[in-house]
Amino acid sequence: MTPNELSYHQAIEEIEEILSQIENQELDVDVLGANLKRVVELIKICKKKLHSANKEIEKIFREMET
């Protein structure tokens, strides 16, 4: 699944799953780094989606004012 296909909700769920595994010490040290990189990637996806949604909301409000 590409980042564009991943929904905000799916990204958050994946972040929560990885963090839960880290908190419960379920991750092997060998995969910990890869999982942390994935969390960073997912956070970037979420930030991009939030920024995009914010821009769309601002656009809608501007259109309502005219």
Domain membership flag for residue 40: yes
Q: Using CA atoms, how far apart are residues 3 and 22, in angstroms rounded to an integer?
A: 23
Highest mean pLDDT among 3-7, 56-60, 62-66: 56-60
Q: How many independent structural domains does the chain possess?
A: 1
Would you state the pLDDT for residue 28?
Answer: 87
Mean of the per-residue pLDDT values of the chain: 92
**Residue 33 maps to a domain:** yes
d(CA 53, CA 56): 5
Q: Is residue 3 part of a domain?
A: no
| Residue 2's pLDDT band (cuts 50, 70, 90) | low
Tokens found for residue 66:
């005219």
- CA gyration radius, the chain: 16
Q: Own/partner pairs for 5-8, CB < 8 Å, 24+ apart?
A: 6/42, 6/45, 8/45, 8/46, 8/49, 8/50
Q: What is the pTM of this model?
A: 0.81
Instruction: Kindly state whether residue 32 falls inside one of the protein's structural domains.
Output: yes
Domain extent, residue 43, equals 8-65
